[in-house]
Amino acid sequence: MDQNTVLGFLNLTSAEPISAWFTWLFGMTSLIFTVLIGLPQLIHLIKTKETSPEVKYYSFWLFFSGIVGWMILGSWDVTNPKMLATAYSNMAASYIFSLTLFFLYLYSPDKSRRKHAWLVLLISMGIAIASTVLSLFGIVQDRHMNPKLMVVAVTIFPMLTTFSFLPSVIRSFENRKFDGMSVPMLICMVCVNFFWLLYWVTLAINRGDLDSNILSAMMWQTISFLIYFSQFILVVVSHLKSKKIKRTA
């Protein structure tokens, strides 16, 4: 497999080989973390068979919408090389997150939500499949979004993934409880934001142009990273305090 084939997977040009390979590395790392982003919560739900009463269901729906949006943004990008790392990773992530939504409802303490679990699976999986078909069409046919629509989309969808869990984060800061999101998922969120930020920087270098779309993505990714990293720090501090109290007890 030659260099162009490997780089071509993420639609990168070998004209700038150093930046291309760094972009490919960070893109593939981000791709893996994005695919796995809903997996820790999914495993936690299957293992415990319990959804915390503190869970904000709308947060998970907003994040799922953001995943779908990033998928379409990457596959219908107005600029070449397209942001294919975001397209491929969010295609896979949408199906995992669809299952996460299903088990959130299936193991909910609310009886009415448990009744709607299969409907949630049908709707979310249907959205994931339809979005995947639309995204693959955009990639294969090399279609591009209207530039004006792209400006709107690249603002809205990153906002969804950035602020979807903000209410839970604020609540965690207030009551020092972290029941809304599993700790492994929180760690995954920190990692995915960090590596996507590196991907945007190296992609801009590879393109030779820091256009408004990449600049917007970098801005939202930075905000998202700070939000989840701050919660991660609080979790670590709280855990260390708990261990100290147990030792002195």
In a domain, 1, yes or no: no
**CB under 8 Å to 224, separation ≥6 — which residues?**
158, 161, 162, 189, 193
Q: Identify the CA nearest to 227 among candidates 198, 196, 189, 201.
A: 189
Q: What is the pLDDT of residue 13?
A: 67
What whole-number distance in Å separates Cα of residue 164 and Cα of residue 128? Answer: 18
By residue range, what is the domain housing residue 219? 16-248
Distance between the two ends of the chain, CA-based, in angstroms?
61
In a domain, 218, yes or no: yes
pLDDT per residue as tens digits for the range 182-206: 678 788 888 989 998 998 888 888 7
**CB under 8 Å to 182, separation ≥6 — which residues?**
40, 41, 44
pLDDT higher than 70, residue 6: no
How far, in Å, are 35, 84, 204 from residue 74 at the CA level? 15, 5, 14
In a domain, 2, yes or no: no
pLDDT higher than 90, residue 156: no
pLDDT per residue as tens digits for the range 71-92: 998 899 887 767 777 888 899 9
In a domain, 8, yes or no: no
pTM for the whole structure: 0.79
In a domain, 88, yes or no: yes
In a domain, 206, yes or no: yes
What whole-number distance in Å separates Cα of residue 96 and Cα of residue 101? Answer: 9
Cβ–Cβ contacts within 10 Å for residue 80, how many? 10
Q: How many domains does the chain have?
A: 1
In a domain, 6, yes or no: no
In a domain, 10, yes or no: no
